[in-house]
């Protein structure tokens, strides 16, 4: 048996292993002896190694992947790692060049496990190191205490240099300490935890920051404990606030969900374009195209597009605001309570409903939930603008002699936002969309009248407006 003594670093092991390989010492004849700080190097192997020429070294080429693997495994604290690495090295250079691809091979599997453990430890250190400020004569120094499982401090120090280049800091660990003075990275032997400062000027600041970045929606306590083992908790200032944050989490999640839903809805509402009307003179083709319309977000809310209905050659067109609850389900305009009232008023005014083309300014039902009910919501200007091409196509193709606008949404779609039904109802007006236009109230407003008397009065006025319309259409 040969005892090979070396400083427990990858580069030292590599040098000794290469020499052992050149001497053709099989793995089972080697005892790998780590050199401690207080132990003088025996250099046994070094003394015995004859110098070897470059051509001989060339035959010991190993895949780059092995060098990477070996570098990581060397950082693991498992004592068997050196023997394992030499065994792998030996096999790679003695007829098994593709050995690392055989993941079920016991040596390969163990090596990858050791590499994984090191990577995990590196990740933990990056995530859980917390600096505390220590005031010094020439300014602040930030000191952190961490207890790594493997020999990762030197390997990881560069990360902290890059991250905190303008801060002077020390990371103290039981095995090795790293120090950065804004110019030079140095290492010293490990220290006891008592040497790490416990008073913390920045701790309060950190706790506030942590509470703010704490995302309750991502809280999975079991996963959190797996990711952040309890042993790290004692070094984390935020550990004291985690329980209260967890307690508050459901309420904060709900608030976040509400906010996010409102934001999504607002974004959806902003996203619209004019409805794409096909170029055709066929009203039924336009109606068919409208059923696939997604020009504004209302198609997601309504059950279906409710396009206009009636004869294409109708002289009278009625234009409402939007379909209601029953119209949305039936897919037909004015079939709900307001529609029934409209039918009655039309009959009383002497107008045959079947002779009239009836439609709405917006073709999808806009509503909000209230208990189990769907409550009507007024369409906004974006929704009206998006839907306008359908209404214009209906007016262009039906060419009514007279258009009756039922309610302010319809009237303003024709005459602009300054139009007031209360002031101009019942007047025969002109517009680019129809030679004559009469505006009146929407029949649903009659249903909302507070008492029988006002309902009767408003109904009579509504019928009178329809009679004006009929007379104007006939003139």
Q: How far is the CB of 420 from ligand SF4 (least distance, A)?
A: 25
Binding mask 63-82 for ligand SF4 (x = CB under 6 A): --------------------
Q: How far is the CB of 272 from ligand SF4 (least distance, A)?
A: 7
Q: Among residues 377 and 424, whose Cβ is nearest to ligand SF4?
A: 377
Of 356-364, 397-405, 437-445, 458-466, the segment contacting ligand SF4 by CB under 6 A is 356-364
Task: Write the DSSP symbol of residue 76.
Answer: S
Burial class (CB within 10 angstroms; exposed 0-12, middle 13-18, buried 19+) of 200: middle
**156 vs 359, which CB is nearer to ligand SF4?**
359
How far apart are the C-alpha atoms of 105 and 144, rounded to whole Å? 40
Tell whether residue 363 is a contact of ligand SF4 (CB under 6 A).
Answer: yes
Shortest gap between Cβ of 424 and ligand SF4 (angstroms)?
A: 26
Min dist. Cβ of residue 394 to ligand SF4 (A): 12
* End-to-end alpha carbon distance in the chain: 120
Within 370-399, the residues that bind ligand SF4 by CB under 6 A are 383, 386-387, 390
- Of the pair 88, 406, the CB lying nearest ligand SF4 is at 406
Tell me how far, at minimum, the Cβ of 267 lies from ligand SF4, in Å: 16
Phi then psi for residue 169, to 5 deg, are: -145, 160
As separate numbers, helices (DSSP H) first and strands (DSSP E) second, the chain gives: 20, 14
CA 295 from chain center: how many Å? 25
CB 305 to ligand SF4: min, Å: 5
Comparison of 122 and 362: residue with beta carbon closer to ligand SF4: 362
- 239 or 330: CB nearest ligand SF4: 330
Give the nearest distance from C-beta 311 to ligand SF4 in angstroms. 22
Q: Which stretch binds ligand SF4 (CB under 6 A): 118-126, 199-207, 250-258, 358-366?
A: 358-366
Task: Give the separation between CA 463 and CA 423, rounded to whole angstroms.
Answer: 17
User: Which two tokens mark 360?
Assistant: 């709405």
Pairing of strands 169-172, 176-180: antiparallel
* Beta carbon nearer to ligand SF4, 156 or 361: 361
Q: Using alpha carbons, select from 21, 17, 14 the residue that is nearest to residue 93.
A: 21
Looking at the Cβ atoms of 382 and 467, the one nearer to ligand SF4 is: 382
Instruction: Kindly tell me which of 347 and 375 has the beta carbon lying closer to ligand SF4.
Output: 375
Q: Is 26 or 276 the residue whose CB approaches ligand SF4 more closely?
A: 276
DSSP 332-370: SSS-SHHHHHHHHHHHHHT--GGGEEEEESS-S--EEEE
Pick out residues in 399-428 that bind ligand SF4 (CB under 6 A). Answer: none
Residue partners of 129: CB distance under 8 A and separation at least 6: 144, 146, 160, 171
Q: According to DSSP H, which parts of 425-475 are helical?
A: 443-447, 452-474
Q: How far apart, in whole angstroms, are the C-alpha atoms of residue 354 and residue 361?
A: 20
**Nearer residue to ligand SF4 within complex by CB, 89 or 277:** 277
Alpha-helix runs per DSSP H in 99-202 = 106-128, 153-163
Question: In this complex, which beta carbon is closest to ligand SF4, that of residue 89 or of residue 295?
Answer: 295
The residue within the footprint of ligand SF4, chosen from 70, 108, 277, 362 (CB under 6 A), is: 362
Shortest Å distance, C-beta 314 to ligand SF4: 21
Site for ligand SF4 in 95-154 (CB under 6 A): none
Binding mask 198-237 for ligand SF4 (x = CB under 6 A): ----------------------------------------
As measured in angstroms, the least distance from the Cβ of 324 to ligand SF4 is 14
Residues in binding contact with ligand SF4, number by CB under 6 A: 16
- Name residues contacting ligand SF4, limited to 279-308 (CB under 6 A): 290, 293-296, 298-299, 305
Q: CB 360 → ligand SF4: shortest distance, Å? A: 9
- For the CB of residue 152, give the shortest distance to ligand SF4 in the complex, in Å: 58
Residues in the chain, how many?
Answer: 475
> Strands 316-320 and 132-136: what pairing?
unpaired
CA-wise closest residue to 111 among 140, 91, 138: 91
Q: Are strands 169-172 and 139-145 parallel, antiparallel or unpaired?
A: parallel
Query: To which residue do tokens 């096909």 refer?
Result: 278
* Nearest to 465, CA basis, from 404, 415, 420, 419: 404
Burial of 237 (0-12, 13-18, 19+ CB in 10 A): middle
Residues that bind ligand SF4 (CB under 6 A): 275, 290, 293-296, 298-299, 305, 362-364, 383, 386-387, 390
């Amino acid at each position: 048996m040969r005892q090979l003594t070396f400083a427990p670093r990858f580069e030292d092991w590599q040098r000794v292993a290469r020499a052992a390989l050149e001497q053709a010492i099989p793995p089972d004849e080697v005892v790998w002896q780590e050199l401690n700080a207080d132990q003088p190097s025996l250099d046994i192997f070094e003394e015995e190694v004859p110098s070897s020429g470059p051509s001989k070294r060339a035959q010991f080429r190993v895949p780059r992947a092995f060098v990477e693997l070996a570098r990581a495994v060397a950082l693991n604290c498992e004592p068997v790692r050196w023997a394992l690495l030499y065994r792998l090295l030996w096999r790679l250079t003695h007829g098994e060049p593709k050995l690392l691809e055989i993941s079920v091979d016991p040596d390969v599997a163990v090596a990858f496990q050791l590499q994984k453990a090191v990577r995990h430890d590196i990740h933990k250190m990056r995530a859980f190191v917390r600096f505390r400020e220590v005031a010094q004569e020439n300014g602040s120094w930030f000191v952190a205490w961490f207890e790594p499982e493997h020999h990762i401090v030197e390997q990881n120090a560069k990360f902290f240099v890059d991250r905190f280049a303008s801060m002077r800091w020390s990371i103290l660990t039981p095995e090795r300490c790293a120090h950065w003075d804004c110019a030079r990275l140095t290492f010293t032997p490990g220290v006891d935890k008592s040497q790490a400062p416990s008073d913390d000027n920045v701790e309060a600041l950190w706790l506030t920051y942590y509470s703010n970045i704490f995302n309750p929606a991502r809280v999975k306590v079991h996963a959190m404990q797996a990711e952040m083992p309890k042993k790290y908790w004692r070094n984390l200032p935020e550990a004291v606030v985690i329980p209260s944050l967890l307690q508050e989490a459901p309420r904060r999640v709900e608030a976040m969900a509400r906010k996010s839903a409102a934001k999504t809805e607002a974004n959806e509402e902003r996203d619209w374009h004019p409805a794409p009307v096909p170029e055709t003179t066929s009203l039924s083709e336009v109606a068919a195209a409208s059923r696939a319309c997604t020009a504004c977000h209302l198609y997601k809310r309504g059950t279906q597009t409710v396009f206009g209905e009636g004869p294409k050659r109708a002289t009278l067109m009625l234009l409402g605001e939007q379909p209601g609850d029953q119209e949305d389900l039936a897919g037909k305009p004015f079939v709900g309570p307001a529609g029934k009232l409209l039918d009655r008023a039309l009959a009383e005014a002497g107008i045959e409903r079947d002779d009239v083309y009836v439609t709405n300014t917006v073709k999808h039902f806009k509503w909000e939930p209230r208990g189990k009910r769907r409550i009507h919501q007024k369409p906004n200007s974006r929704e009206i603008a998006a839907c306008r091409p359908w209404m214009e196509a209906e007016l262009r193709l039906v060419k009514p002699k007279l258009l009756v606008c039922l309610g302010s949404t319809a009237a303003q779609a024709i005459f602009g936002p300054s139009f007031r039904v209360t002031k101009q109802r019942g007047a025969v007006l002109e517009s680019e969309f129809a030679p004559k236009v009469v505006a009146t109230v929407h029949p649903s407003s009659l249903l909302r009248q507070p008492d029988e008397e006002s309902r009767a009065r408003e109904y009579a006025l509504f019928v009178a407006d329809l009679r004006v319309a009929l007379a104007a259409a006939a003139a």
